[in-house]
Amino acid sequence: MKLKPLNQQTVVITGATSGIGLCTAQMAAKRGARLMLAARSAEDLEKVAGQLRQHGAQVATVVADVARIPDIERIAATAQQEFGGVDTWINNAAASIWGRLEEVSDEDSQRMFATNFWGVVNGSLTAVKLLKQHGGALINLGSVASDIAFPLQGMYSASKHAIKGFTDALRIELAESGYPISVTLIKPAAINTPFPQHAKNYMDREPKLPPPVYAPEEVANAIIHACEHPQRDIYIGGGGKMFSSMNKHLPAAMDLVNEKVTMKMQARDEPPRQPSGSLHGPYVRDGHVHGDHPGYVMQKSLYTRSSLHPAVAGVVAAVAGGALVALLRRK
C-alpha cells in the first residue's frame, strides 16, 4: 500500500481549532497539504483558517458537530467540491468528563459518547466511501485510555476503548475486501493541550492531566507520518506504552497505581475555572495548541520517534551495541 506525499494530499481534520487538531493542521500546511478543517465554532475556524492562509495554505472550512451524520456528509461534500476528493481523513474531535462515574449524568455521558465514539464512527464510514475510490489513509485518535481505564475519566476511557474496537474491526474488514486504505489508531498519553479546560468537570478543583505529559507536536508529527506511511498503531510517549504493557501483563498492579497515585494527580490546587467546559457546545473559546499544564512537559519522545523509524532505531542500537562491545574488549 502506497500513500501520496503530503504536498499532493487533501487532508480532513475534525476538531481542528484546538490542541492536537490545530497543531496537525499547522504542520500539514507547512508541508503543502490542502486542508479541509471542521469544528463547532465558526469564529475559531475562520481565525485558524485565516492564519494558515496568510502563510499560503489552501484551506476550506465546515462548521460541524461530528455526532451528526449530515454534518459529516457536508465535510465530505465540501472537500470534493473544493479539492476534488480526500486523501487522508483524521478523526480528532473529542470531549471529556472529569468526575466519579456515579456522579456523572446520563445526558453528559451520552453527549460525550456521541462526540468521541459516534463522531469517529460517522467520520470513518464516510471517509471509507471516498477512500475506496483511489486509496488513502484513515487516522483515528484513540488514547492510552484505549488500553487503560483511568479513574475520574471513566466514561472517557470507555469511549476510547470503544474507538479501538471499532477501528481494529474496520481495518480487518477493509483488508479482507482488498481496499487500499491504511487505518491507523493514534494512542497519545497525556498531552499538554487545552483539553482539561474543555472538559465537563464534576470535581471541586480544576482538572489536571496525570504525568507523564508530552507536547502536542509529538502527536502531530506521528499523525503526519501516518498520512504518508501505513501504520497500525502509534503510541505517543514511552510512558503511555509502558502503562499499556503493565496493564496487559500486571493488571492488578496497574489498578493499584491508578487507585493510589493517579486518583490524586488529576486535580490542581485551585477552584474550577469553567466547570461546564465545551461538552455541549463550543463555549470555551480556543485557537490554542498548548495548554497550561503546571508540571513538566516532555517535548520529545524517543520511544515514539524510534517506533516511526524502526530501521534507523535498529542501526543506532546496533552501533551503540558495537561500541559497547568494543569498549568492553579493550577493558
Q: Give the residue numbers annotated as catalytic, written as ranges.
A: 156
CB atoms inside a 10 Å sphere around CB 161: 18
CA-to-CA distance for 129 and 124, rounded, in angstroms?
9
Q: Is 177 exposed, middle or buried (0-12, 13-18, 19+ CB in 10 A)?
A: exposed
Question: Measured between alpha carbons, how far is 124 from 155 in angstroms, rounded to an integer?
Answer: 21
Alpha helical stretches, state H, 184-301: 195-198, 216-228, 238-249, 251-260
Q: Phi, psi (5° rounding) for residue 12?
A: -95, 135
Place of cell 479546560: 197
Is the Cα dihedral 284, 59, 191, 216 positive or negative? negative
Query: What is the Cα–Cα distance from 175 to 196, expressed in whole angstroms?
Result: 36
Q: What is the DSSP string of 86-104?
A: -SEEEE-----EES-TTTS
Q: Which three cell numbers stand for residue 152?
A: 475520574
* Helix, strand, coil % in the chain, rounded to nearest 5: 50, 15, 35
Contact 119, 67 (CB under 8 A): yes
CA separation for the pair 223, 91 (Å, rounded): 11
Compute the residue count for the chain: 331
Distance CA(41)–CA(286), nearest Å, equals 9
Q: How far apart are CA 82 and CA 60, in angstroms?
A: 7
